[in-house]
Protein backbone atom coordinates (compact mmCIF):
# COMPACT_ATOMS: atom_id res chain seq x y z
CA UNK A 1 0.00 0.00 0.00
CA UNK A 2 2.82 2.42 0.87
CA UNK A 3 4.54 1.74 -2.44
CA UNK A 4 1.32 2.39 -4.34
CA UNK A 5 0.81 5.70 -2.53
CA UNK A 6 4.35 6.81 -3.42
CA UNK A 7 3.80 5.97 -7.09
CA UNK A 8 0.51 7.92 -7.21
CA UNK A 9 2.19 10.91 -5.53
CA UNK A 10 5.07 10.90 -7.98
CA UNK A 11 2.65 10.77 -10.95
CA UNK A 12 0.67 13.70 -9.56
CA UNK A 13 3.84 15.81 -9.08
CA UNK A 14 5.06 14.95 -12.57
CA UNK A 15 1.79 16.08 -14.16
CA UNK A 16 2.02 19.45 -12.35
CA UNK A 17 -1.50 19.28 -10.88
CA UNK A 18 -2.47 21.92 -8.34
CA UNK A 19 -5.60 21.08 -6.32
CA UNK A 20 -5.84 24.65 -5.03
CA UNK A 21 -5.95 26.08 -8.56
CA UNK A 22 -8.47 23.49 -9.72
CA UNK A 23 -10.77 24.34 -6.81
CA UNK A 24 -10.43 28.08 -7.41
CA UNK A 25 -11.29 27.63 -11.06
CA UNK A 26 -14.49 25.81 -10.18
CA UNK A 27 -15.54 28.53 -7.74
CA UNK A 28 -14.79 31.29 -10.24
CA UNK A 29 -16.88 29.52 -12.85
CA UNK A 30 -19.88 29.30 -10.57
CA UNK A 31 -19.62 32.95 -9.49
CA UNK A 32 -19.33 34.32 -12.99
CA UNK A 33 -22.30 32.32 -14.20
CA UNK A 34 -24.41 34.11 -11.61
CA UNK A 35 -22.82 37.54 -12.07
CA UNK A 36 -21.87 38.45 -15.61
CA UNK A 37 -20.26 41.74 -14.60
CA UNK A 38 -17.74 39.95 -12.40
CA UNK A 39 -16.94 37.75 -15.36
CA UNK A 40 -16.02 40.77 -17.50
CA UNK A 41 -13.95 42.45 -14.82
CA UNK A 42 -12.11 39.32 -13.68
CA UNK A 43 -11.19 38.04 -17.11
CA UNK A 44 -10.50 34.59 -15.62
CA UNK A 45 -12.88 32.65 -17.81
CA UNK A 46 -12.81 31.57 -21.42
CA UNK A 47 -13.94 33.98 -24.11
CA UNK A 48 -17.39 32.49 -24.73
CA UNK A 49 -18.92 33.48 -21.41
CA UNK A 50 -17.06 36.80 -21.35
CA UNK A 51 -18.50 37.84 -24.70
CA UNK A 52 -22.04 37.13 -23.51
CA UNK A 53 -21.52 39.31 -20.43
CA UNK A 54 -20.25 42.22 -22.53
CA UNK A 55 -23.37 42.14 -24.69
CA UNK A 56 -25.71 42.95 -21.79
CA UNK A 57 -23.69 46.02 -20.79
CA UNK A 58 -24.59 48.65 -23.37
CA UNK A 59 -22.50 51.58 -24.54
CA UNK A 60 -24.40 54.60 -23.22
CA UNK A 61 -22.72 56.90 -25.73
CA UNK A 62 -24.71 55.20 -28.51
CA UNK A 63 -28.16 55.91 -27.06
CA UNK A 64 -30.78 57.25 -29.49
CA UNK A 65 -34.16 58.90 -29.01
CA UNK A 66 -36.84 56.28 -28.24
CA UNK A 67 -38.97 57.18 -31.27
CA UNK A 68 -38.78 56.34 -34.94
CA UNK A 69 -39.07 59.85 -36.35
CA UNK A 70 -37.79 62.39 -33.85
CA UNK A 71 -38.14 65.30 -36.30
CA UNK A 72 -41.86 64.66 -36.77
CA UNK A 73 -42.60 64.84 -33.05
CA UNK A 74 -42.77 67.74 -30.64
CA UNK A 75 -40.94 67.97 -27.32
CA UNK A 76 -43.72 69.21 -25.09
CA UNK A 77 -41.85 69.31 -21.77
CA UNK A 78 -38.09 69.16 -21.29
CA UNK A 79 -36.04 67.70 -18.47
CA UNK A 80 -35.42 70.09 -15.58
CA UNK A 81 -31.69 70.69 -15.77
CA UNK A 82 -30.26 72.83 -12.97
CA UNK A 83 -27.52 73.97 -15.38
CA UNK A 84 -30.00 75.27 -17.97
CA UNK A 85 -31.05 78.87 -18.43
CA UNK A 86 -33.65 80.34 -16.10
CA UNK A 87 -36.20 80.34 -18.92
CA UNK A 88 -35.61 76.65 -19.68
CA UNK A 89 -35.77 75.72 -16.02
CA UNK A 90 -39.06 77.56 -15.61
CA UNK A 91 -40.48 75.79 -18.67
CA UNK A 92 -39.47 72.44 -17.17
CA UNK A 93 -41.56 72.87 -14.03
CA UNK A 94 -44.83 70.94 -13.85
CA UNK A 95 -47.77 71.02 -11.47
CA UNK A 96 -48.53 67.78 -9.65
CA UNK A 97 -51.71 68.17 -7.64
CA UNK A 98 -51.07 71.45 -5.80
CA UNK A 99 -47.30 71.33 -5.97
CA UNK A 100 -44.81 72.59 -8.55
CA UNK A 101 -42.12 70.03 -9.28
CA UNK A 102 -39.11 69.73 -11.61
CA UNK A 103 -39.85 67.57 -14.63
CA UNK A 104 -37.81 64.35 -14.45
CA UNK A 105 -37.90 63.39 -18.13
CA UNK A 106 -38.81 64.50 -21.63
CA UNK A 107 -42.35 64.39 -23.00
CA UNK A 108 -42.92 63.69 -26.70
CA UNK A 109 -46.21 64.34 -28.51
CA UNK A 110 -47.39 64.07 -32.08
CA UNK A 111 -48.60 67.50 -33.38
CA UNK A 112 -51.73 65.79 -34.71
CA UNK A 113 -52.45 63.96 -31.48
CA UNK A 114 -51.73 60.56 -33.03
CA UNK A 115 -50.05 57.67 -31.29
CA UNK A 116 -46.55 56.57 -32.34
CA UNK A 117 -44.13 53.74 -31.78
CA UNK A 118 -41.97 53.74 -28.67
CA UNK A 119 -38.59 52.05 -29.08
CA UNK A 120 -35.76 50.94 -26.83
CA UNK A 121 -33.23 53.78 -26.76
CA UNK A 122 -30.42 51.31 -26.15
CA UNK A 123 -30.04 47.55 -25.94
CA UNK A 124 -30.68 46.00 -22.55
CA UNK A 125 -32.93 43.81 -20.45
CA UNK A 126 -36.51 44.73 -19.52
CA UNK A 127 -36.39 45.07 -15.73
CA UNK A 128 -39.90 46.34 -14.96
CA UNK A 129 -43.36 46.38 -16.57
CA UNK A 130 -46.30 47.88 -14.68
CA UNK A 131 -49.70 49.47 -15.14
CA UNK A 132 -49.34 52.44 -12.79
CA UNK A 133 -52.51 54.12 -11.42
CA UNK A 134 -51.43 57.63 -12.50
CA UNK A 135 -48.50 57.18 -14.92
CA UNK A 136 -50.12 54.62 -17.21
CA UNK A 137 -48.14 51.65 -18.45
CA UNK A 138 -44.46 51.81 -17.52
CA UNK A 139 -41.53 49.90 -19.00
CA UNK A 140 -38.00 50.08 -17.61
CA UNK A 141 -34.91 48.74 -19.39
CA UNK A 142 -31.65 48.02 -17.59
CA UNK A 143 -28.57 48.71 -19.72
CA UNK A 144 -25.93 47.77 -17.16
CA UNK A 145 -23.49 49.91 -15.19
CA UNK A 146 -26.36 51.57 -13.29
CA UNK A 147 -28.05 53.03 -16.40
CA UNK A 148 -31.80 52.53 -16.77
CA UNK A 149 -34.25 54.06 -19.25
CA UNK A 150 -37.90 54.55 -18.28
CA UNK A 151 -40.87 54.79 -20.66
CA UNK A 152 -44.22 55.97 -19.26
CA UNK A 153 -47.73 56.72 -20.53
CA UNK A 154 -47.68 53.67 -22.79
CA UNK A 155 -50.25 51.47 -24.43
CA UNK A 156 -50.02 48.18 -26.30
CA UNK A 157 -46.91 47.07 -24.42
CA UNK A 158 -45.07 44.39 -26.41
CA UNK A 159 -42.31 43.28 -24.03
CA UNK A 160 -42.13 41.35 -20.77
CA UNK A 161 -39.91 41.54 -17.71
CA UNK A 162 -36.66 39.67 -18.25
CA UNK A 163 -36.77 40.02 -22.02
CA UNK A 164 -33.59 41.13 -23.77
CA UNK A 165 -34.22 43.86 -26.36
CA UNK A 166 -32.05 45.47 -28.98
CA UNK A 167 -31.75 49.16 -29.67
CA UNK A 168 -34.71 50.28 -31.76
CA UNK A 169 -36.94 47.39 -30.73
CA UNK A 170 -40.57 48.52 -30.58
CA UNK A 171 -41.64 48.07 -26.96
CA UNK A 172 -45.03 49.84 -26.98
CA UNK A 173 -47.15 52.65 -28.41
CA UNK A 174 -47.47 56.13 -26.95
CA UNK A 175 -50.58 56.42 -24.78
CA UNK A 176 -52.08 58.48 -21.99
CA UNK A 177 -51.70 58.96 -18.23
CA UNK A 178 -53.73 60.59 -15.49
CA UNK A 179 -50.65 62.42 -14.21
CA UNK A 180 -50.16 64.31 -17.49
CA UNK A 181 -53.63 63.96 -18.94
CA UNK A 182 -53.50 67.48 -20.41
CA UNK A 183 -50.90 66.23 -22.90
CA UNK A 184 -53.21 63.61 -24.37
CA UNK A 185 -51.30 60.90 -26.23
CA UNK A 186 -47.61 61.24 -25.38
CA UNK A 187 -44.44 59.50 -24.24
CA UNK A 188 -42.70 60.37 -21.00
CA UNK A 189 -39.05 59.28 -21.28
CA UNK A 190 -36.48 59.23 -18.47
CA UNK A 191 -32.89 58.15 -17.97
CA UNK A 192 -31.65 57.17 -14.54
CA UNK A 193 -28.08 56.61 -13.40
CA UNK A 194 -27.67 54.69 -10.16
CA UNK A 195 -31.25 55.59 -9.26
CA UNK A 196 -30.98 59.34 -9.96
CA UNK A 197 -32.75 60.96 -12.91
CA UNK A 198 -30.35 62.56 -15.39
CA UNK A 199 -30.84 64.60 -18.55
CA UNK A 200 -31.54 62.20 -21.45
CA UNK A 201 -30.09 64.70 -23.91
CA UNK A 202 -26.64 64.15 -22.41
CA UNK A 203 -26.70 60.52 -23.54
CA UNK A 204 -28.06 60.87 -27.07
CA UNK A 205 -25.57 60.10 -29.83
CA UNK A 206 -25.39 62.88 -32.40
In whole angstroms, give the CA distance from residue 185 to residue 153. Answer: 8
Q: How confident is the model at residue 5 (pLDDT cuts 50, 70, 90)?
A: very low
pLDDT tens readout for residues 72-108: 999 999 999 998 999 999 999 988 778 899 999 999 9
Tens of pLDDT, residues 129-172: 999 999 999 999 999 999 999 999 999 999 999 999 999 999 99
The pLDDT value recorded for residue 32 is 34
pLDDT for res 2: 43
Q: How confident is the model at residue 206 (pLDDT cuts 50, 70, 90)?
A: low
d(CA 154, CA 161): 15
- Walk me through the domains of the chain, giving residue ranges and CATH numbers: 2-55 (no CATH), 60-203 (2.70.70.10)
Residue that wins the pLDDT comparison between 125 and 31 = 125
Alpha-carbon distance values, 90 to 86, 103, 198 (Å): 6, 10, 17
Spell out where the chain has E strands: 74-77, 93-96, 99-102, 106-109, 117-119, 124-132, 136-142, 147-155, 164-165, 170-174, 187-193, 196-198
Model pLDDT for residues 54-74, shown as the tens digit of each residue: 345 788 889 999 999 999 999
Answer yes or no: pTM beyond 0.85: no
Residues above pLDDT 70, as percent of the chain: 72
* Closest C-alpha to 142, from 66, 180, 106, 193: 193
Amino acid sequence: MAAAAIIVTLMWIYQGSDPAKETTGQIDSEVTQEDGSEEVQGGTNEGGNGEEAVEVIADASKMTWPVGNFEALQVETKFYDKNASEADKEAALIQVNNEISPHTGIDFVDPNGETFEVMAALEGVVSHVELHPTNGYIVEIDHGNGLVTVYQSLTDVQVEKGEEVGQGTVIAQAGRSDLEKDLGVHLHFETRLNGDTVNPSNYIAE
